[in-house]
């Protein structure tokens, strides 16, 4: 029986390269994305490499809580075992704010809240089919000590963050909203790992791990879709060549194939089967390392968790780690 892995945003960039590598290792990849046409092309590409049964696609709009619930219900109805989830999909806006169908700032809604609900709704399947893994794609931009060219993370309270992507009502900075969402990814990863452990859902013989992955700077990814045309050209066509050349010396900058292969390793590596609550960044060539001090603040992680439960409308019984 094939092992199934769900990859959000797996139809392009790092997600697609991760999917291709997982399929080559015998896993069946389920690509979940709002762009069904692009997903179908990705499935055909993966099938040409690894066989017709190596990939499939499903429609998923992470900006709609109703759509996420419908997706989880459809996936469960298929009766396929689920062995891994890769929370890879992400977006960044150049202007805004843009709001989701549920009224949340869309960077927060897609990059964090949608994945938060999706994982909860699929957690019972992962427990049933363990050993299983959850991998959350974050970013080094969350760390204020790193020189990334991005604003430093700035969160005042979760309600304001969910409304504006930043710390102040009525203000929007798309780059800051993205940085803050990547910080939320780490708060979610660490708190999820702690709660799974406390609930006894991960055992020595049937481990369920949760880890965070940081791909580095990856020119050519879809994050530049909102950039002005000139900058988008540089991002898509000029910088990838530079990244290939400098990666051996500066591992924090790479290409989608390089980072996608490393992401697949976090999903597959037998040595990581019982590692949970860890962070694997590009600057260490994806060896375990500490993320920023703020990202490890347990009080902040609990605050985000509690607020996310309310915003997602998570109900008792929908998740094995939420009793109301």
Q: Which residue numbers are catalytic?
A: 178
Strand 278-280 vs strand 55-59: parallel, antiparallel, or unpaired?
unpaired
Write out the DSSP string of 165-213. Answer: SSSSTT---HHHHHHHHHHHHHHHHHHHHHHHHHTT-S-SSS-EEEEEE
CB 49 within 8 A of CB 21: no
SS3 276: coil
CA trace torsion 89, 92, 97, 99 (10° rounding): -10
Eight-state DSSP code of residue 204: S
Count CB neighbours of 58 within 10 A. Answer: 15
CA 143 vs. chain centroid, Å, equals 17
- The rounded distance, in Å, linking the Cα atoms of 255 and 262 is 11
């Amino acid at each position: 029986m094939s092992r199934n892995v769900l990859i959000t945003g797996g139809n392009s960039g790092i997600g697609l390269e991760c999917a291709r590598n997982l399929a080559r290792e015998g896993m069946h990849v389920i690509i979940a994305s709002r762009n069904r046409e692009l997903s179908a092309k990705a499935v055909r590409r993966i099938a040409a490499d690894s066989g017709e049964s190596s990939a499939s696609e499903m429609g998923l709009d992470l900006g709609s809580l109703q759509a996420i619930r419908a997706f989880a219900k459809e996936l469960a109805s298929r009766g396929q075992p689920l062995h891994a989830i890769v929370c890879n999909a992400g977006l960044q806006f150049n202007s805004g704010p843009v709001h989701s169908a549920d009224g949340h700032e869309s960077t927060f809604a897609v990059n964090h809240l949608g994945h938060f609900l999706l994982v909860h709704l699929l957690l019972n399947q992962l427990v049933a089919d363990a050993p299983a893994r959850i991998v959350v794609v974050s970013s080094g931009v969350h760390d204020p000590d790193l020189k990334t060219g991005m604003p430093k993370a700035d969160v005042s309270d979760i309600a304001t963050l969910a409304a504006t992507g930043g710390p102040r009502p009525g203000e929007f900075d798309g780059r800051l909203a993205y940085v803050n969402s990547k910080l939320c990814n780490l708060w979610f990863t660490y708190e999820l790992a702690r709660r799974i452990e406390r609930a006894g859902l991960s055992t020595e013989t049937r481990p369920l791990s949760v880890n965070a992955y940081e791909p580095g700077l990856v020119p050519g990814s879809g994050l530049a879709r909102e950039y002005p045309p000139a900058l988008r050209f540089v991002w898509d066509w000029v910088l990838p060549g530079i990244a290939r050349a400098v990666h051996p010396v500066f591992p924090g900058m790479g290409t989608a194939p390089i980072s996608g292969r490393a992401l697949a390793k976090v999903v597959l590596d037998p040595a990581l089967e019982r590692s949970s609550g860890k962070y694997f960044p590009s600057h260490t060539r994806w060896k375990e390392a500490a993320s920023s001090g703020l990202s490890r603040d347990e009080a902040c992680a609990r605050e985000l968790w509690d607020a996310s439960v309310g915003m997602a409308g998570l109900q008792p019984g929908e998740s094995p780690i939420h009793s109301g």
